[in-house]
C-alpha cells in the first residue's frame, strides 16, 4: 500500500517536473532567449510548422529528362545539397530541403521541397534559390539546313517580340547542348591573368567531368565551345587543342568583384538539374501567431469542459482522471519537444482531439466499476474487476483509431502527417496514462469500505437502468 | 428496451438523413478545393479598409490570369482565388490588387498549387481512403471471428459497415450544403476528418455488438429483442460519455480553435455525433431486423418441410 502511495507521489512530482521543464523551455514564457549559450532548456522549444511560424513552402519540379535513370537519385541528392548550401548562405533559421522520390502514389515527378521558416517574401525566397547558377557547356552547331531554319525562326520570333507578341523560346541556332554541366564541377577558383591582370574563373572538374571535357575539346579543335551560365553565354573560347586534366578557365571580361561572386556561387554548387517552381505557399507571421493562440485557447477550454464533466459525473474517480489527464498532457507535450514533432494547426487539432479520446479509457473503466458495484461487490473488488474487464473494450476502441492514424501517416502529405502523428501518439500515450496512472491513484487512496460517503464518491450522474440496490445515489449534472 | 421497441422510428430518421444527404450531394455536388484540383489562393488585407469587389474586378480583368474570384474575409481581407500562379504572375496580381500601389495591401497568405501536385494529393487521398476502409473491414472481421447464436456471426460485419456508411454519408451531405451556401471546399483535412470518423465510430459500434454477444453467451434472456435491448441499456452511458468527451473538445476547437481547422472540427463533430447515434439507434435495431428476417425464412422452410 505504502509502496503504491510513494509511486503515486513520485508520479505527481514527475508531472510537476515535466510541466516545469515545458514552462522553462518556452522562451516566451520563461524569458530565456533562444540560443543563449549554455542554457540547456532553450534547446527544446516546440518545433512549429510553417503554418504556425509563418514562412514559405516551395515545391520545385526537377527536370531529369537529360539524366540517365540510374543517376537520377544521385543527381537529386546533390541537387538537395546544393540548394541547402544556397539557402544556408542566406541565414534562414532551420530551413528544410527535401527531395521527394517517386513512390506508388506519385505522378512520376521528381520534386524538391524547400521550407523556409520566417521568410514571407516569396519573391525574395524564389530569387534566393534561383540564384544558384546553372553552368552548361555547349558546342557549335554544324552549318546546314537545321541551323538556317533555327536562325530564321529566331529572327521571326524577334520581329514578333518587337510587335509585343510573346513567343515561346526558340532553340539556340548556334550552339548544341553537351552532357557536361555544373554537375561535374569539383570547384571553382578565382584567378588573374599574369599578363593583363584580368580576373578569370578557373574550373576544376571531377574525374567524370574531366573525361567529358577532354572528349568535347578533342572533337571541337578549331571551333568554339560556349560556356553558358543560367541560360546565357558568358564566354565562347576557341579550342586550340584537346584538354586533359579537367581544368578550364572562363574569361568573360569580369570585374574582380564579379569574378569573385561567380566563384562563390559556383562553389556553393552549380545546379545539377534544372528546376521549375510548381507550388508556393506563404503564410504571414500574424496568421500563424493567431493560429497558435487559438489552438492553445481551444485546448484549454476543451480541457476545462472535460474536467468539469468528469468531476461532476464521476466524482472522486473523475477527479483522479483529471489529474491523470493533466499528467498525460505534460508528458505528451514533452515528447513533442524531445522527438521533436513539428506542430502544425492540424497537428494541434490532432492533439486536442486526443485529449477527448484520452478520457475514453477512463470512462470505460469507471462505467465498468459502477456495473461491478451494482452486482454487490466491495469498492476495492469493483475497482480491480473494473480495470481488468474494461481493458478489452479499451484495446478495441483504441485499436481502430491507431490504425487510422498509422495509415494517414503513411500516405499523408506533411499536413496530414502532422495530424496523424499527434493524434496517434496522443491516443497511445493517453491509453497508457489513463490506465496506469488513474489505477495507481485509485489504489493508493485505499478506499475499501462501502460507507455511504464512499459510495457517493464512486457514484455517478444519472442512471438509465433502474436497479434495486441503491448503491449509486442519483446526482444531477447541471 | 425503449430503443428496440421504437426501432422503426429511429431507422426512419437515419434513412431520412442519409437520403437527404445523397440528394444534397447529387443536387449541389461538392466544391473541390485547390488542394486537389490545383490553383492559387491569395489572402490580402487592406489595413485602410477594403475596396469594393467591382473595383478589384476591374483592376484584374486585363491580367489574362483566367477567372479570378473575390471572397470577403474578416473585416478588411479578401481571399482571391485564381489558377495556379507563377512567381511573375503572382507579382502582377499583387500589383493589380493594390491598384498599382495606390492602395495599401498586406499579403497574409499565398498558396499556389500546380496541377500535378493536386493530382498527387488526390491519388494519396484515394490510397488512404482505400486502406482505411480495408483496415476497418479487417478489424470488423477480426472482432467478429467467433461464431455466435442465434444470429450468424457474419451478419454483424455488414451491419457495422452499413452503420459506418451512414456515419460518413451525413457529414458529406453537410459538406455539400456548406459548399453550396457558404463556399466551403473539400480539402485534405476533410478527407482526414472522414477517415478519423471511420476509425473512432467503428469502435463504438463494435463495443455495443460485443456486449450483445457477451449477453447472448450469458443467456440473460431467452428473447433476442430483450437481450439486444438490455445490452444497449448497459452500454448506453459509456457510448454517450466516450463520444461526449470527444465532442466537447471538438466543439471547443470549432468555437475557439484556429481558423484553418474550423470546418474540420465541424465535420468531425457531426460525424462523431451520428457515429454514436448509429451505434446505438441504427446498428442494433438493424441486427434485430436481421434476426426477424432470419426467423421468418426459417419458419417458411419449416412450413415447407411440414407440408412435405
Residues of chain A contacting B252 with CB distance shorter than 8 Å: 298-299, 301-302, 305, 352
| Dist CA A366 CA A322 (whole Å) | 13
Q: Provide the pLDDT for residue A104.
A: 57
- Range name among A14-18, A241-245, A295-299, B207-211 with the lowest pLDDT average: A241-245
Does residue A469 have a pLDDT over 50?
A: no
Does residue A342 have a pLDDT over 50?
A: yes
Cα nearest neighbour of B188 on chain A? A416
**Residue of B237, B255, B262, B263 best to disrupt the A interface, most CBs of A under 10 A:** B237
More confident residue, A143 or B123: B123
- Range name among A256-260, A337-341, B162-166 with the lowest pLDDT average: A256-260
> Regarding beta strands A275-283 and B106-113, do their DSSP bridges make them parallel or antiparallel, or are they unpaired?
antiparallel
Out of A105, A132, A159, a domain closes at A132
Structural domain span for residue A114? 55-132
DSSP A317-367: HHHHHHHHHHHHHHHHHHHHHHTTPEE-HHHHHHHHHHHHHHHHHHHHHHH
Phi, psi at A91, each rounded to 5°: 70, 35
Residues A37 and A60 in one domain: no
More confident residue, B249 or A261: B249
Say how many domains are in chain A.
Answer: 3
Q: What is the mean pLDDT of residues A202-213?
A: 85
Whether domain B2-33+117-307 has CATH 1.20.1640.10: the reply is yes
Q: Which CATH number among 3.40.50.300, 3.30.70.3400, 3.40.50.720, 3.30.300.30 corresponds to the domain B39-113?
A: 3.30.70.3400
Q: Provide the pLDDT for residue A19.
A: 85
CB atoms A346 and B242 under 8 Å: no
Q: Provide the pLDDT for residue B1.
A: 67
Residue A180 resides in a domain? yes
Q: Is A12 on the interface with B (CB under 8 A)?
A: no
Out of A132, A152, A184, a domain closes at A132
- Range name among A117-126, A330-339, A356-365, B276-285 with the lowest pLDDT average: A117-126
CB atoms A309 and B244 under 8 Å: yes
Residues of chain A contacting B229 with CB distance shorter than 8 Å: none
Residues A259 and A296 in one domain: no
Mapping DSSP onto H, E and C, the string for B149-214 reads CCCCHHHHHHHHHHHHHHHHHHHHHHHHHHHHHHCCCECHHHHHHHHHHHHHHHHHHHHHHHHHHH
Q: Provide the pLDDT for residue A306.
A: 94
Joined together, the cell numbers standing for residue B85 give 500562379
- Range name among A267-271, B54-58, B187-191, B216-220 with the lowest pLDDT average: A267-271
Q: Provide the pLDDT for residue A304.
A: 94
Could you tell me the pLDDT band of residue B268, with boundaries at 50, 70 and 90?
very high
Distance linking the first and last C-alpha atoms of chain A: 36
Q: What is the mean pLDDT of residues B13-28?
A: 95
CB atoms A401 and B199 under 8 Å: yes
CA neighbours within 13 Å on the CB side: how many for B36?
16
Residues of chain B contacting A410 with CB distance shorter than 8 Å: 128, 131
CB atoms A396 and B188 under 8 Å: no
For chain A, what percent of residues have pLDDT higher than 70? 83
Query: Helices A414-445 and A345-374: crossing angle, nearest 10°?
Result: 30
Residues of chain B contacting A291 with CB distance shorter than 8 Å: 258-260
Q: Provide the pLDDT for residue B23.
A: 96
Q: How far is CA A442 from CA A320, A360, A363, A437, in A?
A: 7, 17, 14, 9
- Range name among A36-40, A472-476, B79-83, B241-245 with the lowest pLDDT average: A472-476
CB < 8 Å from B in window 392-421 of A: 392-393, 396-401, 403-405, 407-408, 410-413, 415-416, 419-420
- Range name among A35-39, A120-124, A138-142, A446-450 with the lowest pLDDT average: A35-39
Residues of chain A contacting B236 with CB distance shorter than 8 Å: 464
Q: What is the mean pLDDT of residues A90-109?
A: 71
More confident residue, B132 or A178: B132
Whether the CB-CB separation of A421 and A341 falls below 8 Å is answered with yes
Residues of chain B contacting A55 with CB distance shorter than 8 Å: none
Q: Provide the pLDDT for residue B114.
A: 85
pLDDT digits (tens, 9 = 90+) for A49-70: 888 888 888 888 888 877 777 7
Whether the CB-CB separation of A322 and A309 falls below 8 Å is answered with no
The segment(s) of chain B belonging to CATH 1.20.1640.10 are 2-33+117-307
Q: Provide the pLDDT for residue A475.
A: 37
* Bridge partners (DSSP) listed for residue B79: B43, B71
Out of A109, A132, A155, a domain closes at A132
Cα nearest neighbour of B87 on chain A? A123
The shortest CB-CB distance from A284 to any of B109, B128, B265 is to: B109
Residues of chain A contacting B41 with CB distance shorter than 8 Å: none
CB atoms B199 and A400 under 8 Å: yes
Q: What is the mean pLDDT of residues A179-195?
A: 80
Q: What is the mean pLDDT of residues B197-207?
A: 86
Could you tell me the pLDDT band of residue B305, with boundaries at 50, 70 and 90?
low
CATH of the domain at A363: 1.20.1640.10
| Dist CA B122 CA B35 (whole Å) | 8
CATH of the domain at A121: 3.30.70.3220
pTM for this prediction? 0.78
Segment of A92-96, A206-210, B177-181 carrying the highest mean pLDDT: B177-181
> Number of A:B CB contacts under 8 A?
236
CB atoms B116 and A464 under 8 Å: no
Residues A170 and A250 in one domain: yes
Q: What is the mean pLDDT of residues B239-254?
A: 92
More confident residue, B208 or A25: B208
Contacts of A293 (CB under 8 A, 6+ apart): none
ipTM of the prediction: 0.87
Cα nearest neighbour of A465 on chain B? B233
| Dist CA B308 CA B303 (whole Å) | 9
Q: Provide the pLDDT for residue A417.
A: 86
CB atoms B110 and A282 under 8 Å: yes
Residues A78 and A26 in one domain: no
Could you tell me the pLDDT band of residue A89, with boundaries at 50, 70 and 90?
low
pLDDT digits (tens, 9 = 90+) for A402-430: 999 999 888 777 778 889 999 999 999 88
Joined together, the cell numbers standing for residue A186 give 569539383
Q: Provide the pLDDT for residue A478.
A: 30
Does residue A46 have a pLDDT over 90?
A: no
CB atoms A357 and B87 under 8 Å: no
* Bridge partners (DSSP) listed for residue A114: A58, A97
Residues A103 and A157 in one domain: no
pLDDT digits (tens, 9 = 90+) for B75-120: 888 888 888 888 788 888 888 888 777 888 888 888 888 888 888 8
Does residue A87 have a pLDDT over 80?
A: no
Residues of chain A contacting B131 with CB distance shorter than 8 Å: 407, 410-411
Cα angle vertex A59, ends A54, A60, to 5°?
145
Q: Provide the pLDDT for residue A140.
A: 81
The segment(s) of chain B belonging to CATH 3.30.70.3400 are 39-113
Cα nearest neighbour of B192 on chain A? A416
Rg of chain B in Å (alpha carbons): 26
CB atoms A291 and B258 under 8 Å: yes
CB atoms B196 and A397 under 8 Å: no
pLDDT digits (tens, 9 = 90+) for B157-185: 889 889 999 999 999 999 999 999 988 88
Q: Is A310 helix (H, G, I), strand (E, B) or coil?
A: helix
The shortest CB-CB distance from A399 to any of B125, B139, B260 is to: B139
Burial letters for A22-34: b for 16+ Cβ neighbours within 10 Å, e otherwise?
A: bebbbbeeeebee
CATH of the domain at A205: 3.30.1360.200
Could you tell me the pLDDT band of residue A467, with boundaries at 50, 70 and 90?
very low
Amino acid at each position: 500500500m505504502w509502496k503504491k502511495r510513494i509511486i503515486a507521489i513520485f508520479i505527481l512530482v514527475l508531472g510537476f517536473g515535466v510541466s516545469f521543464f515545458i514552462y522553462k523551455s518556452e522562451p516566451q514564457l520563461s524569458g530565456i532567449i533562444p540560443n543563449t549559450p549554455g542554457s540547456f532548456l532553450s534547446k527544446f522549444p516546440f518545433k512549429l510548422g510553417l503554418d504556425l511560424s509563418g514562412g514559405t513552402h516551395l515545391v520545385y519540379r526537377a527536370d531529369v529528362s537529360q539524366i540517365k535513370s540510374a543517376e537520377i537519385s544521385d543527381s537529386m541528392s546533390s541537387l538537395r545539397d546544393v540548394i541547402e548550401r544556397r539557402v544556408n548562405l542566406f541565414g534562414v533559421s532551420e530551413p528544410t530541403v527535401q527531395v521527394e522520390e517517386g513512390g506508388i502514389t506519385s505522378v512520376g515527378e521528381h520534386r524538391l521541397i524547400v521550407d523556409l521558416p520566417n521568410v514571407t517574401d516569396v519573391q525574395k525566397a524564389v530569387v534566393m534559390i534561383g540564384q544558384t547558377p546553372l553552368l552548361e557547356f555547349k558546342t557549335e552547331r554544324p552549318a546546314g539546313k537545321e541551323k538556317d531554319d533555327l536562325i530564321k525562326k529566331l529572327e521571326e520570333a524577334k520581329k514578333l517580340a518587337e510587335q509585343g507578341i510573346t513567343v515561346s523560346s526558340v532553340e539556340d541556332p548556334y550552339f548544341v547542348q553537351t552532357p557536361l554541366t555544373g554537375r561535374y564541377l569539383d570547384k571553382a577558383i578565382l584567378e588573374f591573368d599574369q599578363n593583363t591582370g584580368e580576373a578569370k574563373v578557373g574550373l576544376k572538374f571531377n574525374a567524370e567531368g574531366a573525361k567529358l571535357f577532354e572528349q568535347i575539346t578533342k572533337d571541337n579543335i578549331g571551333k568554339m565551345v560556349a560556356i553558358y551560365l543560367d541560360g546565357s553565354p558568358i564566354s565562347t573560347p576557341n579550342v586550340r587543342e584537346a584538354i586533359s586534366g579537367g581544368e578550364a578557365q572562363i574569361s568573360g571580361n569580369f570585374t574582380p568583384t564579379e569574378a569573385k561572386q561567380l566563384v562563390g556561387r559556383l562553389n556553393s554548387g552549380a545546379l545539377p538539374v534544372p528546376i521549375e517552381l510548381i507550388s508556393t505557399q506563404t503564410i504571414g507571421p500574424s496568421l500563424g501567431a493567431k493560429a497558435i493562440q487559438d489552438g492553445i485557447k481551444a485546448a484549454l477550454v476543451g480541457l476545462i469542459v472535460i474536467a468539469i464533466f468528469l468531476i461532476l459525473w464521476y466524482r472522486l474517480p473523475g477527479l483522479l482522471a483529471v489529474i491523470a489527464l493533466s499528467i498525460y498532457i505534460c508528458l505528451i507535450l514533452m515528447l513533442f519537444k524531445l522527438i521533436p514533432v513539428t506542430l502544425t494547426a492540424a497537428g494541434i487539432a490532432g492533439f486536442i482531439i486526443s485529449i477527448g479520446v484520452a478520457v475514453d479509457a477512463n470512462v470505460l473503466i469507471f462505467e465498468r466499476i459502477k456495473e461491478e458495484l451494482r452486482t454487490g461487490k466491495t469498492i476495492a473488488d469493483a475497482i480491480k474487476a473494473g480495470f481488468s474487464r474494461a481493458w478489452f473494450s479499451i484495446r478495441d476502441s483504441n485499436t481502430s483509431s491507431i490504425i487510422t492514424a498509422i495509415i494517414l501517416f503513411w500516405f499523408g502529405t506533411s499536413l496530414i502527417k502532422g495530424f496523424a502523428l499527434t493524434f496517434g501518439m496522443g491516443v497511445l500515450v493517453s491509453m497508457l496514462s489513463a490506465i496506469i496512472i488513474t489505477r495507481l491513484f485509485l489504489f493508493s487512496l485505499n478506499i475499501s469500505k462501502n460507507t455511504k460517503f464512499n459510495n457517493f464518491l464512486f457514484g455517478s450522474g444519472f442512471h438509465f437502468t433502474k436497479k434495486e440496490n441503491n448503491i449509486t445515489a442519483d446526482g444531477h449534472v447541471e | 428496451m425503449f430503443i428496440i421497441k421504437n426501432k422503426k422510428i429511429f431507422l426512419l430518421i437515419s434513412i431520412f438523413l442519409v437520403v437527404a444527404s445523397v440528394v444534397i450531394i447529387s443536387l449541389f455536388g461538392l466544391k473541390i478545393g485547390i488542394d486537389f484540383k490545383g490553383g492559387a489562393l491569395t489572402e490580402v488585407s487592406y489595413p485602410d479598409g477594403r475596396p469594393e469587389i467591382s473595383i478589384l474586378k476591374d483592376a484584374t480583368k486585363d491580367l489574362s490570369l483566367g477567372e479570378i474570384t473575390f471572397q470577403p474575409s474578416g473585416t478588411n481581407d479578401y481571399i482571391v482565388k485564381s489558377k495556379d500562379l507563377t512567381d511573375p504572375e503572382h507579382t502582377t496580381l499583387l500589383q493589380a490588387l493594390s491598384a498599382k500601389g495606390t492602395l495599401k495591401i498586406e499579403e497574409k497568405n499565398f498558396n499556389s498549387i500546380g496541377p500535378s501536385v493536386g493530382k498527387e494529393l488526390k491519388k494519396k487521398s484515394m490510397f488512404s481512403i482505400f486502406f482505411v476502409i480495408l483496415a476497418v473491414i479487417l478489424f470488423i472481421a477480426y472482432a467478429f471471428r467467433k461464431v455466435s447464436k442465434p444470429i450468424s456471426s457474419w451478419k454483424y460485419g455488414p451491419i457495422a459497415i452499413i452503420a459506418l456508411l451512414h456515419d460518413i454519408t451525413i457529414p458529406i451531405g453537410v459538406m455539400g450544403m456548406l459548399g453550396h451556401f457558404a463556399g466551403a471546399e473539400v480539402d485534405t483535412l476533410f478527407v482526414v476528418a472522414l477517415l478519423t470518423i471511420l476509425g473512432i465510430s467503428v469502435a463504438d459500434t463494435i463495443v455495443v455488438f460485443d456486449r450483445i454477444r457477451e449477453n447472448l453467451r450469458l443467456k440473460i434472456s431467452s428473447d433476442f429483442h430483450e437481450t439486444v435491448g438490455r445490452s444497449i441499456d448497459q452500454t448506453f452511458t459509456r457510448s454517450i460519455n466516450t463520444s461526449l468527451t470527444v465532442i466537447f473538445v471538438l466543439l471547443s476547437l470549432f468555437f475557439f480553435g484556429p481558423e484553418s481547422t474550423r470546418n474540420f472540427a465541424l465535420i468531425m463533430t457531426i460525424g462523431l455525433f451520428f457515429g454514436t447515434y448509429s451505434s446505438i439507434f441504427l446498428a442494433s435495431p438493424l441486427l434485430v431486423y436481421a434476426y426477424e428476417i432470419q426467423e421468418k425464412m426459417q419458419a417458411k422452410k419449416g412450413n415447407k418441410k411440414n407440408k412435405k
